[in-house]
């Protein structure tokens, strides 16, 4: 398969969008995990008091 400009645009079009959506969802998931971790730590500190 020869990688000319048309093929490169086609590859980016086919895989670029799913990759960007995946990265976006992973970043959102990471933020929610951080918030959940902070909440759990807070609960542990409050339960020890």
- Domain membership of residue 8 as a residue range: 1-49
pLDDT digits (tens, 9 = 90+) for 10-31: 888 888 888 889 989 998 999 9
Q: How many distinct structural domains can be found in the chain?
A: 1
Give yes or no for residue 1 having a pLDDT over 60: no
CA–CA dist 31, 24 (Å, integer): 11
Confidence (pLDDT) at 20:
87
Q: To 5 degrees, how large is the angle CA 18–CA 24–CA 20?
A: 30
CA–CA dist 10, 4 (Å, integer): 10
Confidence (pLDDT) at 17:
86
In order, the DSSP letters of 3-28 are --HHHHHHHHHHHHHHHHHHHHHHHH
Give yes or no for residue 2 having a pLDDT over 70: no
């Amino acid at each position: 398969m020869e990688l000319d400009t048309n093929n490169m645009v086609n590859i980016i079009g086919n895989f670029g969008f799913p990759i960007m959506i995946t990265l976006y969802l992973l970043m959102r998931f990471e933020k929610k995990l951080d918030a959940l971790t902070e909440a759990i730590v807070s609960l542990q500190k409050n339960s020890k008091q």
